Amino acid sequence: MDDLLRALEDERLIKRVYPPYCDVIDAKDYDALSEVFTAYCVGDYSNTNGIVQEGLAPLVEYLHDVMGRGSCCGPTHHNVLNFRIDPDGDTASGHVHFYAVHQGARELTGKMYTCWGQYDDELVRTPEGWRFARRTLVPRTIGRPEGLTGRLVPLDALTGWT
C-alpha cells in the first residue's frame, strides 16, 4: 500500500509542475523556467520548427528571441489538460494535451496563432521537486499568421500522437 500511496502522491506533485510552466511562458518570464526544468533539459520542438534545444540556458535564450518582449509574439495563453502521468521511482513520464493561443505583435499585430497537441515529457525528482528533463512537443494542428516562423504541420503528416 505504501508504494501505491507514494505513486499517487508523485502523480499529484507532477501534475502541479504543469500550471507553473504555463504561467512562466504566458508571463514571458523565461528565466523562471528553472522552476520546472532541469539545467540539463532537452526541449525537442523538431516537429514544429526543426529545433532541439539541449540545456536550459539555450532553451531560455531561444524563447526570449522567438516569444519574448520585442518579438512578433504578443500575449499568450497556454492550457494543459488530459494528464497521463506514470511515476516510476525518481523518474516519470507525462503525456499531456495542450492548447495555446498567441496574439501577434509588431508586424503581426491583430493576428492570432493557435496550436494544440501533446507534450511528451520525461521528469525527474530533484531536491527542489519534480522537474522536466525532456519535453517533446507533438503538435496536433497549428494555425499561424503569414510571417510567423515555424512550419505548418498538416494533420495527416503528424506522427507520435497518443
Amino acid type, 39:
A
pTM: 0.85
- So what's the pLDDT on residue 156? 46
Q: Is residue 102's pLDDT more than 80?
A: yes
- So what's the pLDDT on residue 142? 61
Distance of CA 114 to the CA centre of its chain: 14
CA–CA dist 52, 63 (Å, integer): 12
More confident: 35 or 162:
35
Contact 135, 119 (CB under 8 A): yes
- So what's the pLDDT on residue 135? 97
State the average pLDDT over residues 134-147. 74
Q: Is residue 160's pLDDT more than 50?
A: no
Percentage of residues in the chain having pLDDT higher than 70: 86
- So what's the pLDDT on residue 112? 84
Domains and CATH numbers, the chain: 2-157 (3.10.450.50)
Q: Which of 64, 66, 41, 43 is nearest to 53 (CA)?
A: 43
Does an H or E element contain 21, and which?
A: helix 18-27
Q: How confident is the model at residue 158 (pLDDT cuts 50, 70, 90)?
A: very low
State the average pLDDT over residues 28-48. 94
- So what's the pLDDT on residue 161? 41
Average pLDDT, the chain: 87
Q: Which of 131, 155, 156, 153 is nearest to 144 (CA)?
A: 153
